[in-house]
Structure 1
Amino acid sequence: MRFGAAFLVCLGLACLGLAGCAAPPSQGGGGIVSMNPCADATLLELVPPSRIAAISHYSQAPDSTSIPLDVARRFRGNNGTAEEVIGLKPDLVIASSFTAPSTREAFARAGLKVLYLGIPPSIADSKAQVTELAAALGTPAKGAALNARIDAAMAAARWTGPKAPALLWIGGNLVTGGQTLLDDLMTTTGFSNQAAHYGLTHTGHLPMERVIADPPRVMLAPEGAGHDSDSRAAILRKRAIAETGLKVTQAQFARQLVNCGGPVIPAALARLAEIRRQVR
């Protein structure tokens, strides 16, 4: 899920420290089990590794993680099945609001404490989710500290001049539209979302013909990472721009920055602000 999806300066010194001191995976019985890859990123900010029994298997894949792979792979992964999670006997399960009803019912029958988190559509909603998760973990001060970092990053990246129309490709021909966290990040840093201009909300596939007919000023894409379909799409975009002579600035925006909010936000804002400063 994306608001997301694979690292990062965004995790700051706290996560860099985790890379060298993460505890061995729990063998079951207590601890926190996260089935939510975006919760994984925030979880690492809020609790010590010893409290984490397992994280989502998505965080251990390059195209869907929002934490450094070397950190993620120090923890036990889980595939999100009810049987697997219940077998770990966790103190707390962090799951997605899209969790299947049958899985929810299985957790309830097992008497598990579960926190279901949705996909935040804005920076403010992401901060509220950090606060909610920190409260559930008993670490409200760390949640407040993370939100303060997000506020500082927003202040540093905020653009007050004219906005540049931009498309943010998530992968292949999939773009982020309006009413999303990425849309809020783009607007904050001086871009207007061209996908929203086309009428797209959330995420959707966008044919290149539409882009050529009404091009943005900037195109952001996770070039050089992900599946072969991403590389093919990137090649076709570059070829189309070259052949039509469109004045479109192309810039790389790492796939790991499109997947989640929380601790990913500062790095995403910094990268977007950097690109915006380069666009006249």
Structure 2
Amino acid sequence: MTAASARCRRIAMAATAALMPAFVPAAAAADPPPQRVVSINLCTDQLAMLMAAPGQLRSVSFLAGEEGTSVMVEEAAQYRPNSGQAEEIFLMQPDLVLAGTYTAKATVVLLRELGFRVEQFTPAASFDDVRENLTRMGRLLHREQRAGELVAELDKGLADLAARHPPAKTVAIYYANSYTSGSGTLADAIVQAAGLVNLGDTLGFKGMTRLPLELLISANPDIILEGDSQYSAPALAKANFSHPAFRALSDRAIAIPDKYTICGAPFTLEASRMLQRAALGERSETP
């Protein structure tokens, strides 16, 4: 073999070696499922608890154990609670941290600087967002089949609601400090899934904004959706609810637990069911 041909052969062998990773079977190249998952956001807490394999999820935020905010209080008791501080998360040595886009930025930045994998989820503002978040969580946890089951459960619930055809009544979402939800919010999606009309949407409101009491009264909604936030003492945030003009409409008010409207999941549809039953004049038992 000449020196030139030997040189060509070495070049060819080197090129072949460089290309070899591209031909590694997909199963061998794929990342293994995470085994030490920690969630530091209420919504990712619940998505993870809905689909994690036994032993895969190690810790959830303390909010997951709060009756007023979490649908999955009993499930959360099985996991170590955390307060979302970088120091405590570091000591757990997770291989995946689940967070929200509004999770304390300093915590997320520090964890990433320390080499931890942090995946952030945007809060759902529609049921399409809920499907997307369920599917993404399934991929991250390597629980695609379970995610598919939850998406199917969500779609069936939406179909069942759509099949009932309640009268097209107007719903005014009215929270503390006179806040309401217009288009582009999960609360608006909940009202629409019930087959009803969101007053905030018809008024052209987008996102969370304030609805003056005078405008609420003049709009004369059929149903007023209240949250169930409780205050241990009289608070200005709830002053409008004691106003005589509002009390005159109190028979139209329905209190829906906040835990059903904070995070997007199949259980969110319970808020739509409660609204729909109210529109149909059916008795509703608060879960």
Superposition TM-score tier, normalisation by shorter sequence: 0.7 to 0.9
- The equivalences for 1:1-280 within 5 A come to 31-48=36-53, 50-67=55-72, 69-158=73-162, 160=165, 163-171=168-176, 173-223=178-228, 225-228=229-232, 229=235, 232-233=238-239, 235-236=241-242, 239-243=244-248, 249-278=252-281
Q: 1:268 to 1:249 in 2, by over 3 A?
A: same
SS at match of 1:199: coil
User: What TM-score results when the alignment is normalised by the length of structure 2?
Assistant: 0.76
Change (3 A) 1:234 1:77: farther
Write the distance in 1 (CA, Å) between the matches of 2:179 and 2:78: 31
Superposed CA offset, 1:220-250 (max 9, x none): 1134x5324499457426x42444xx59622
Distance 1:230 1:58 in 2: 25
TM-superposed CA distance for 1:66, in Å, is: 3.2
Distance 1:50 1:170, change over 3 A: farther
Question: Shift of the alpha carbon at 1:270?
Answer: 2.1
Aligned residues: 246
The RMSD of aligned alpha carbons is 2.6
Give the aligned residue type for 1:209: E
Partners of 2:258 and 2:132 in 1: how far apart?
Answer: 24
Q: Which amino acid aligns with 1:151?
A: D
Aligned residues: percent identity?
Answer: 22
Amino acid at match of 1:226: Q
Report which structure shows greater RCO (CA 8 Å, sep ≥6).
1
Q: Is the Cα–Cα contact under 8 Å of residues 216 and 248 in structure 1 kept in the other structure?
A: no
CA distance in 1, matches of 2:180, 2:76: 27
Q: Supply the distance in 2 between the matched residues of 1:271 and 1:230 (Cα, whole angstroms).
A: 28
Name 1:16's counterpart in structure 2: none
Moved >6 Å (runs of 4+): none
8 Å CA contact retained: 2:49, 2:75: no
- Pairwise CA distance, 1:185: 1.8
Q: For structure 1, which runs of at least 5 residues remain unmatched after alignment?
A: 1-29
The code of the aligned residue for 1:174 comes to: Y
SS in 1 for 2:140: helix
- Give the 3 Å change call, closer, same or farther, for CA 70–230 of structure 1 in structure 2: farther
How far 1:94 moved relative to its partner? Answer: 0.4
Change (3 A) 1:81 1:137: same
